[in-house]
Amino acid sequence: SDAWYETVLPPTPGLVDQPTVVRARQRGGVDDGTIEWEAGGVPADTGNDADPAAPTESVDGESILTHLLRLDDDLAAIYDATDDGALLSRAYDRYRGLRLVRDPAFPCLISFICSAQMRVSRIFGMQRSLRESYGTPVDLGDRTLYAYPTPEALAARTEDELRDLSLGYRAPYVQRTAEMVASGEAHPRDARGLPYEDAREELTQFVGVGDKVADCVLLFSLGYLQAIPLDTWIKTAIGDYFPDCEGGNYAETSRSIRERLGAGLPERDEPFGESGPDAYAGYAQTYVFHHLRTDGD
């Protein structure tokens, strides 16, 4: 697509030390296309009431995009190892080039807390309202972007203020989780480095986070590519295509579908002390999710 994707990346350990504006778009096809990008650092977070700051500092945009868009994942190896299952084959064929992402941990956590029982458009609307109400503005000349609110900014809000942004019953979950992170009581990054199921359990300490939301954060932020969030679409796939994977509870069903969707995929040396044939199962899940949600078959 010729459309630009743009975001304000918060300070991220090992990647950027300051808020950073990133803009990117793909030109051409999956196999022969290129990515155009622009990136620049901005002054430290000063809050929603500050005058918009413009990007001023040079940053390594290529490394940032490689990290965010997981451009270092070997999709060809994953495709080549796919088994003969009709559902996975259709999903891979139709959406070749689809990648997972490495979202910043705190925004990812809050976004998925807000996602409960919500359509995608409503979730996007909530996140936009949070950014524009409590995030630091960044001046891009012809328009203003907003960084995602810091834990401190959200922790300082009242439940009523967050409800006014249409968060509904999720408002106290967001406020309390932000308070936990801002105070140093816990951080979603603390889960990184734990064995997979222990990491999932670690994340459920946050208010409003159950096993599914925890799996979403593990998969889309913390690099646990074997995680399979058991949402409505994946439960439908299990019932229609893999009924023998229904284990009666979340943990057992999760183990069974990870093994099934990971069958045939290349083993991966996990950075968290785990490896095995299910180590890329989250990639297979993502293709199945997008295929069923988009095409319905």
Query: Both 234 and 145 in a single domain?
Result: no
Sign of the CA dihedral with 146 first, then 148, 151, and 157 last: positive
Average pLDDT, the chain: 88
Name the more confident of 209 and 296.
209
pLDDT score of 266: 67
Domain of 154, CATH number, reads 1.10.340.30
| Mean pLDDT of the 106-131 span | 93
Query: Both 187 and 246 in a single domain?
Result: no
pLDDT score of 260: 87
Query: Both 216 and 251 in a single domain?
Result: no
pLDDT score of 271: 52
1 exposure class (CB count in 10 Å sphere: 0-12, 13-18, 19+): exposed
pLDDT at 269 over 60: no
pLDDT digits (tens, 9 = 90+) for 92-104: 999 999 999 999 9
pLDDT at 273 over 50: no
Backbone torsions φ then ψ of 39, nearest 5 degrees: -155, 145
| Mean pLDDT of the 202-231 span | 96
Query: Both 166 and 265 in a single domain?
Result: no
pLDDT at 146 over 60: yes
With cut-offs at 50, 70 and 90, classify the pLDDT of residue 108.
Answer: very high
Question: CA 49, CA 53: separation in Å to the nearest integer?
Answer: 11
Query: Both 84 and 138 in a single domain?
Result: no
Half-sphere exposure of 231 (CA within 13 A, CB side): 22
pLDDT score of 38: 87
| Mean pLDDT of the 204-222 span | 97
Name the more confident of 100 and 52.
100
Give how many domains the chain has, as a whole number: 3
Query: Both 93 and 230 in a single domain?
Result: yes
pLDDT at 88 over 80: yes
Q: What percent of the chain has pLDDT over 90?
A: 58
pLDDT digits (tens, 9 = 90+) for 248-263: 899 999 999 998 887 6
So which residues are the catalytic ones? Answer: 212
Query: Both 277 and 256 in a single domain?
Result: yes
With cut-offs at 50, 70 and 90, classify the pLDDT of residue 82.
Answer: low
Domain that holds residue 283: 74-100+225-297
Query: Both 201 and 124 in a single domain?
Result: yes
| Mean pLDDT of the 35-58 span | 69
Query: Both 96 and 111 in a single domain?
Result: no
Q: Which of 166, 199, 220 finishes a domain? A: 220
Cβ of 17: how many Cβ atoms within 10 Å?
Answer: 13
Are the C-beta atoms of 113 and 173 separated by less than 8 Å?
Answer: yes
Strongest mean pLDDT among 10-19, 28-37, 181-190, 280-289: 181-190
pLDDT score of 220: 97
In the sheet with 34-41, reading across from the earlier edge strand, the strands are 5-9, 20-27, 34-41
Q: What percent of the chain has pLDDT over 70?
A: 88
DSSP 249-297: SHHHHHHHHHHHHHTTSPP---TTS--STTTTHHHHHHHHHHHHHHH--
Q: Which of 58, 73, 88 finishes a domain? A: 73
Residues 6+ apart with CB under 8 A from 262: 226, 276, 277, 278, 279, 280, 281, 284
Query: Both 127 and 208 in a single domain?
Result: yes
Query: Both 215 and 292 in a single domain?
Result: no
Question: CA 138, CA 147: separation in Å to the nearest integer?
Answer: 7
| Mean pLDDT of the 236-247 span | 92
pLDDT score of 109: 98
With cut-offs at 50, 70 and 90, classify the pLDDT of residue 174.
Answer: very high
pLDDT digits (tens, 9 = 90+) for 176-206: 999 999 999 999 999 999 999 999 999 999 9
Which long-range contacts link 25-33 to residues 24+ away (Cβ below 8 Å)?
25/1, 26/1, 27/2, 30/96, 30/97, 31/97
Q: Which of 220, 253, 279 finishes a domain? A: 220
Query: Both 248 and 270 in a single domain?
Result: yes
Question: CA 203, CA 209: separation in Å to the nearest integer?
Answer: 7
pLDDT at 53 over 80: no
pTM (two decimals): 0.90
Sign of the CA dihedral with 251 first, then 297, 120, and 28 last: positive
Are the C-beta atoms of 265 and 82 separated by less than 8 Å?
Answer: yes
With cut-offs at 50, 70 and 90, classify the pLDDT of residue 268.
Answer: low
Report the greatest alpha carbon distance in the chain.
Answer: 57
DSSP 130-186: HHHHHSPEEE-SSSEEEPPPPHHHHHTS-HHHHHTTT-GGGHHHHHHHHHHHHHTS-
